[in-house]
Amino acid sequence: AIGLLVDDAIVVVENVERVMEEEGLSPKEATRKSMGEITGALVGIATVLSAVFIPMAFFGGSVGVIYRQFSVTIVSAMVLSVLVALILTPALCATLLRPPKAHGKSRGFFGWFNRNFDRTTHAYRSGTAGMLARSGRFLVIFLAIIVGMGWMFARLPSSFLPEEDLGILITMVQLPAGATSDRTELVLDKVRRHFLEDEKDAVEGVFSVNGYGFNGQGQNLGIAFVRLKPFGERKTPAVSAAAVAGRAMGALRMRDAMVFTLTPPAIQGMGNSGGFSFYLQDITGVGHEKLMAARNQLLGMAGQDPRLIATRPNGLEDEPQFVVDIDQEKASALGVSLADINTTLSSAWGSAYVNDFLDRGRVKKVYLQSAADFRMQPEDLAKWEVRNSAGTMVPFASFASTRWTYGSPRLERFNGASAVEIQGQAAPGVSSGVAMDAIDEIVGKLPPGFSHDWTGLSHQERLSSNQATALYAISVLVIFLCLAALYESWSIPFAVLLSVPVGIFGALLGAHLFGQSNDVYFKVGLLTTIGLAAKNAILIVEFAIERQAHGIGLVEATLDAARQRLRPILMTSFAFILGVTPLAIASGPGSGAQNAIGIGVMGGMIAATVIGVFFV
């Protein structure tokens, strides 16, 4: 947005300076003539850039929230830039600029720069004339650029958000079902010692909780939150959050416990951890046992896939359960109601609230609960009796039987079907989109009757990838219609839009060279590149149209416009490139998103400026 704010002012100032130098007009007259020449171009640039970003504001979901932030910011900056360029900048030019003769011929560095730039401009005009004379050959090159753009776009790995170093790690501990709290504490102690001793260069502190996890509560569960040192003290990749988590995954492998160290999601509220998450669903009702067998089969195949790591169930394992079967016919014959049976069971083996009482001015609660000796063993159920309708006591053995079974401690459903949640992460160097594709392949190998649905960040990633095509198509369509209305022509918008593939080619090339993925922020950078590449084309096309209106031939008008508009194109483009350079080279918290935008826009603008100006 900061880069866009100065673009239009640069165009105005440069053109006023050119008119004063070439035609010898006063600053006031030069400003008046200059604004007559470039007002249409400024309006066209504002229209194109607004048309690129306004459709983003109407997308829904979490992706739409991210798009909306960029859309509102950039469109607001663009509108202000045009208003300043049309209202304030001309007044400043007429007041502050001086005719060239007032300060004589430039010498020193500026004189050397202007002489060399004039040579560059002449070479650019000659090169453009040569391209027009060999248009067929360069049309083939342009088509090759489009093919290369499509090839790189298809091979660019996809993801939702880039990984961020937030200075926090989450370690989840799960022991076998039935494990005691003491065993869980021993594992948590090993976790604490690993981070505080083996990773002392990176870790500032560890806070652990026994009996709790993101997947539920139980004596066999635990969780630890690892706080890393400030990023200023962790400047090497070896002490980054991802590196510390990777070493912990290897060092904390245990036979009697599952220990996973994860990074939190890049955006708070989008799940409990980074990576992917989905529900494996029993869509045909084959039963819990077959669902668990399919889950274990999936985990086994995922463990052998090099694209995946830390694939795990995010739930509680099946555990022994003690079932009390009530013979309702016998209970009814004995005069015992089901309500009395349930009340007795819940009160004896749990507790029941009775009432409140006052004790030294304080309200205290009264709970009914059996003595511990009468509820320690399953056989103790036979000691209990229930009062029937006649007032006599009936033992449980008269109408109830017991048995042991094995099952899930909680019922999980997703979209109305029995399901189990599974989480995991992409292997180092693998994007989340590739990891999700691997899961799709594995689920396809499961027996019939099972399906999966993504949730959390993974669900948003699938939505964003599905919306991307519509986003690009709508943006290009709106640009085309706006330009067609502005110039009252169907051919001029094509001339402008044909410069866009070169910018996209540069953005994709930069993403491939620096290992970026096709995430939400890269999509924003790609749309920015589309708008800025079209802006460069508009500056040339607008002047070519004006020269044609004065009776100059098409080729000569094009060459003249290219020569006159090269300086403002380079000035605005390099100003924007330098503006996004800090984003491209950023490091530390939030650098993933900054790199994704900066590298894409920088690559696109370099290509659109160095190569695209020849094809416009």
**pLDDT reading at 92 higher than 60:** yes
pLDDT single digits (tens) 272-285: 666 788 999 998 88
Whether domain 319-407 has CATH 3.80.10.10? no
**pLDDT reading at 104 higher than 60:** no
Distance CA 249, CA 424 (A): 13
In three-state secondary structure terms, 298 is helix
Find out whether 601 and 529 touch, Cβ atoms under 8 Å.
yes
pLDDT single digits (tens) 472-484: 788 888 888 888 8
Comparison of pLDDT for 558 and 602, the residue scoring more: 602
Find out whether 422 and 315 touch, Cβ atoms under 8 Å.
no
Of 320-329, 364-373, 407-416, 496-505, the one with minimum mean pLDDT is: 407-416
Find out whether 438 and 309 touch, Cβ atoms under 8 Å.
no
**1: pLDDT confidence band, cut at 50, 70 and 90?**
low
Span between the terminal Cα atoms of the chain, in Å = 25
Tokens of 172: 């989840």
Tokens of 280: 């494996």
Find out whether 117 and 567 touch, Cβ atoms under 8 Å.
yes
Tokens of 358: 């006052």
Q: What angle do CA 584, 587, 66 make, to 5 degrees?
A: 65
Residue 136: per-residue pLDDT: 82
DSSP per-residue string spanning 159-228: -SS-----SEEEEEEEPPTT--HHHHHHHHHHHHHIIIIITTTTEEEEEEEEEEETTEEEEEEEEEEEEE
pLDDT single digits (tens) 522-539: 888 888 888 888 888 888
Residues 6+ apart with CB under 8 A from 470: none
Distance CA 53, CA 51 (A): 6
The answer to whether 2-161+461-615 and 319-407 have equal CATH topology is: no
Comparison of pLDDT for 88 and 6, the residue scoring more: 88
Chain-centre distance for alpha carbon 179: 38
| Overall fold of domain 2-161+461-615 | Multidrug efflux transporter AcrB transmembrane fold (1.20.1640)
Query: Would strands 203-213 and 385-387 be described as parallel, antiparallel, or unpaired?
Result: unpaired
Distance CA 20, CA 491 (A): 33
Residue 109: per-residue pLDDT: 72
Find out whether 297 and 475 touch, Cβ atoms under 8 Å.
no
Distance CA 120, CA 241 (A): 48
Closest CA to 278 of 165, 68, 523, 446: 446
Find out whether 501 and 146 touch, Cβ atoms under 8 Å.
yes
pLDDT single digits (tens) 147-181: 999 899 888 888 777 888 888 899 989 888 878 88
**pLDDT reading at 67 higher than 60:** yes
Residue 185: per-residue pLDDT: 92
Residue 105: per-residue pLDDT: 57
Domain 167-263: state its class: alpha beta
Q: Do you know the residue count of the chain?
A: 616
Find out whether 438 and 426 touch, Cβ atoms under 8 Å.
no
Helix H or strand E encompassing 332: helix 328-333
**616: pLDDT confidence band, cut at 50, 70 and 90?**
low
Distance CA 370, CA 534 (A): 79
Output Rg (C-alpha) for the chain, integer angstroms.
35
- What is the 3-state secondary structure of 107-143? CHHHHHHHHHHHHHHHHHHHHHHHHHHCHHHHHHHHH
Work out the average pLDDT over 444-469: 83
**pLDDT reading at 614 higher than 80:** no
Residue 79: per-residue pLDDT: 85
In three-state secondary structure terms, 83 is helix
Helices 89-96 and 2-23 cross at an angle (nearest 10°) of 40
Distance CA 613, CA 499 (A): 8
Half-sphere exposure of 3 (CA within 13 A, CB side): 21
Work out the average pLDDT over 560-571: 82
Residue 272: per-residue pLDDT: 61
Distances (CA, A) of 546 to 388, 556, 561: 102, 12, 9
Distance CA 564, CA 551 (A): 18
Find out whether 302 and 311 touch, Cβ atoms under 8 Å.
yes
**pLDDT reading at 102 higher than 60:** no
Work out the average pLDDT over 62-91: 85
Work out the average pLDDT over 487-499: 82
**pLDDT reading at 59 higher than 90:** no
Mean pLDDT for the chain overall: 84
Q: Where are the domains of the chain?
A: 2-161+461-615, 167-263, 319-407
**Adjacent-strand bridge partners of 363:** 358
Distance CA 161, CA 268 (A): 12
Helix H or strand E encompassing 39: helix 27-53
Residue 355: per-residue pLDDT: 92
* % of the chain with per-residue pLDDT over 90: 10
Fill in the amino acid letter for 94. A
Residue 415: per-residue pLDDT: 86
